[in-house]
Every structure is written in structure tokens, then in C-alpha cells.
Amino acid sequence: MGLTQTQQDIVALLQKSKDILILPSSPIDGDCLGSSLSLYLVLKKLGKNVTVVAEEKIPHSYDFLPSIKAISETLDASQEFVISIDCRDHKVKNVRHEIQGNKVNIFVTPESGTIDKDHVSFENGAFKYDCIITVDAADPSQFGSIYENFPELLHLAPVINIDHHASNSSFGKINLVDIMAPSTTVLLLPIIEALGEKLMDEDVATLLLAGLITDTGSFQNPNTTPDAFAIAAKLIGFGARQQEIIRHIYKTKQLSQLRLWGRTLTKIQHDMKYKMVWSVLTKKDFDEIGASPDQTEGVIDELMSNAPNAEIIFLLKDKDGEVKSSIRTTTSSIDASELATMFDGGGHAQAAGFPMKGINIEEAEKQVLEKFRAFQSKRLHLGDHVEEIKEAGKQDTGREKQENVMQEIEPPQSGTPQQEVSSEPARIWWEADPKAPPSPVPASVSPASAPVVPAAVPATPEPAAPEPATPEPTPAQTPHPPAPPAPAPSPAPAPPPSPFPPPGPIEPTPNPTEPKPPPPPPPVV
């Protein structure tokens, strides 16, 4: 398939440029690194002067990437300052300069006469780069201190903006933005192939595949398209080292990172009414476990795996005096980038983030919960008022971690009533004493030759002690059929009906020589 017009424009600009600056986005991840370094290797092969600058610290999990050491931490954006003198009326005889303290004095001596100050002009020289490529960045603010210190940077040279975020502001001269692409590295593949067939090698393919794997969560995230698998197969065909990527990014963790994951899961909180799960990492957390905020990559995915019923999952972390957040959504009906824009952030449909400056992490948590709950209340038609949402926030923020306390209960003694330890209303049950005499057989089913003893009706006591049951009269006292069982106390349920037909009247024959068994003792409460 041929190149689009935008792709052709990018290829043409790269071919004629000599000094190229590449800026990956912040926070650093596998996609922006894979995009930056693959372009670096390809353009170096074409004989270009290429500089990659990322002032944010790069996580150690990416140390295996080819040419990772080529990334500079500082930007050399120096420009010459040009002083021009109109010499049409006065020829210059000599030029010299002196440095006196914090000043530079330039002395220009004409052959005759004097040079008027109106003949002198000043201007900045040409910028050292003739092309700037930004990768995986939706907005210039994602370049961090580089953009803060050099706000005019993107106006000094043509900018090629390559990205796949829906929130991209199209800030470049040429904007290649495809929100359906699973990663930025995928967008680079046709451009690299158009620049030269022999430019693709194992290292370039590995970098492109690293960006694809990390941005799709190893092909598990919803942004994994059929094309993603086809492109991955193509890159592996070029020699991409897929197992090396998996081993370093997903199977190798530092001890401090494992502790960080544990701390994050320990502090997990949930709000099932609004279907949210979140965790907060403070500076104290990082100091206590000896971890860095840059090691939180992948933690948000652990939260997702531990919150199957949540629709919004977010992580707040205290980093360099500001609060940074990562958001994930588990349903296509919630756009994570829409949530991020509430705080001037951005991202993808189900993965986004935002920074919060000039605020402590406790207040940040309160504000995020308030806005997200309001969003969910409207979406789920909960009809909550603003006061209810704020009250819910007061109950969450500043809350200490709760611990489950298991209470051991002594085993019940035989023959004594026991009270159930529960949050339900108190119940009392009875346990039979194995040494007690067996219950007498009801007269209605006993043989004619056996003495008839009325059946004892088991009482179902309630928390209040029941009155002792009064024994029924014996058959010798009542020549009529056995009286029905005495009704149980009012709160007790009626016994289930017997599946057998009711017995007819039986005239028992008492045996006066055999002693009668004593009636059962009343229950002890």
C-alpha cells in the first residue's frame, strides 16, 4: 500500500534535513523510547546529525534497549548572538573584544571617522537544528522542563508530530496522528521502509516491537487490533527479539519495585457505589521502601487485575513536588482521556494520565474523587447531590489503612447454649450432650407393648430465656388420642409438616410394673 500525503511529506523533510532533534514524551515509557531510538538509528544510517533528549529519568527496565545511552539528559539549544554594523560609510580597520567581569566589550575601529550607534543592529543566529521530531506526545507540555525552559523551541524549526493519542493538539507543522494505531512505533514502520529498504535490522525491529508490546500490555489491552498482531509478526520476521523484551520488561523486577507494588496493593481503596478502585503513594511511601516514582510503571495494571468489578482505576503518586496520576477504565463506555482532561491531561480511550501542580497529594485525592464520583453519578443515574459526593470524599481521604482482625472463639461446651459471634442479631443454639439418655419414642409410633412416653418438643430459644416446657400428660391419664404438641414460643418457626398420614387413635396398654422414665430436664439458659 502506498504512502499517504502526510507520510510522503515526512519522508521528504527527513531526507533534506541535516541536524535533527528528537523529543520523546513524558512520562517515559516503552513506546516513546522505542520510537525515538528507532528513528535515531535509521537517521544515523542516512548520515544525519541526530540528538535525542529526555530530561526525565529513564527506568532501569529499559536499559536493554539498543542505543539507550544515546539519549541526552540536557538540551543544547544555544544560539549565536549576531551584532551587525553597517560599514558603507566607514571601512573597518580593526575588531577586538575584552571580557570584564560579567560583560563582553567589543571594540570596532574604523579607518576614519566614527561609527554611529544607529548603524548597529542585533539578532539571534540560526537554530542549530533544522528539524524537530516529537513522538508519542499529545501536547508540548509533555516535554516537561525542556518546553518550560525553551517555550520558543517548537517555533525555531519545522516540527514533525507523530502520535496516536486522541487528545493530540496537532501542534506540529506536519502532524501524523492516528488514534486507531496501537502504538506510535506502528506509525513509524512505513516511514522507515520508505526511507530505505536496507535500514531495517534486528535492533530497529526490536525497538519498534518494544513500543508495540508495552503500549498494548503485551497484547492484552483493548487497543490491541488485528493489525497489531500482523505488524508484530512482521517485526519478528525482521529479527525483533521478542523474548528479550518480555524478559526485561515483564519478568525482571528489582526488589524495591516489588516492595512498591506491595505497598500499592496494601493501600488499595474501593468505592463500589461509584465502581472505582484507587491507591495513593506518598513521598513517605517511596522513602520508606527505597523506591522511585519512576518504578510505578505496571502498578496500575496490577490494580486492574485486583479490581474486576471496578470501572475506573487510578493511581496517584507524589513525584518531584507534584502529583501525577494514571487512569485505566475497564469498559468502553468510559473514555479515560475524557477523565484526564478534567485536570488538563490526556491519553487513550482506556488509558490516560494527568499532572497536578501546586497541590499536596491529600487534596489532590479529594479533588479527583469528587470529580470522578460526579462523573459516575451522572453516568450511572445515581442522582447524588454535590453534598453527598463531598461527604463521601471526606470519609475516604486521610483514612488510615484498615487491617482485618481475626477473633478466635473457644469451642462450645457440650450441653450448654452458645451465642453466635456475628454482626447479625444474636442467636442461641443447643448442642446435645452425648452422655444424656436418648430421647423417648413418641407414643404414636411405639409398639403396643411398650410404654408410651410423649415426644419432647424441642424449644427454639431466642435471646431471652424461654420458660421451661411443661411435660404432657401420659397416656394413662388421657384415654383419648395423644394431644397435639405444645406450641413453640411465638418467635420460633412452626415445624415442617410430616410426610406421613396422621395416626389413628390408639389405646395404649400401660405396664404398671415397669417404672416410668423421668421427664427430660428443662433447658438451661
- Asked whether the predicted pLDDT for residue 182 surpasses 60, the reply is yes
* Structural domains of the chain in order of their starting residue, each with its CATH number: 5-75+128-250 (3.90.1640.10), 81-124 (no CATH), 255-396 (3.10.310.30)
**What pLDDT is recorded for position 447?**
44
What would the pLDDT profile of 258-315 be if each residue is shown by its tens digit? 888 889 888 999 999 999 999 999 999 999 988 888 778 777 777 776 677 899 999 9
Structural contact between residues 306 and 267, judged by C-beta atoms closer than 8 angstroms: no
Out of 236-240, 426-430, 441-445, give the one with best mean pLDDT. Answer: 236-240
Q: Which residues, including other chains, have CB under 8 Å from residue 468's CB and lie 6 or more apart?
A: 522, 523
Q: Of 246, 175, 178, which is closest to residue 209 (Cα–Cα)?
A: 246
**What pLDDT is recorded for position 19?**
95
d(CA 312, CA 275): 7
The set of cell numbers assigned to 31 is: 513506546
- Asked whether the predicted pLDDT for residue 516 surpasses 70, the reply is no
In the chain, the amino acid numbered 284 is: K
d(CA 368, CA 317): 13
Q: Of 493, 504, 501, 499, which is closest to residue 460 (Cα–Cα)?
A: 493
Q: Which residues, including other chains, have CB under 8 Å from residue 216's CB and lie 6 or more apart?
A: 182, 183, 223, 224, 228
CB-side exposure of 49: number of CA atoms within 13 Å?
6
| Region 404-411 average pLDDT | 36
What would the pLDDT profile of 435-450 be if each residue is shown by its tens digit? 555 544 444 444 444 4
d(CA 379, CA 519): 67
Binned at pLDDT 50, 70 and 90, residue 413 comes out as very low
3-class SS at 169? coil
238 or 100, greater pLDDT = 238
d(CA 112, CA 507): 154
Q: What percent of the chain is helix, strand and coil (3-state, nearest 5)?
A: 30, 15, 50
d(CA 433, CA 416): 8
What would the pLDDT profile of 96-154 be if each residue is shown by its tens digit? 888 888 888 888 888 888 888 888 888 877 778 999 999 999 999 889 888 888 888 88
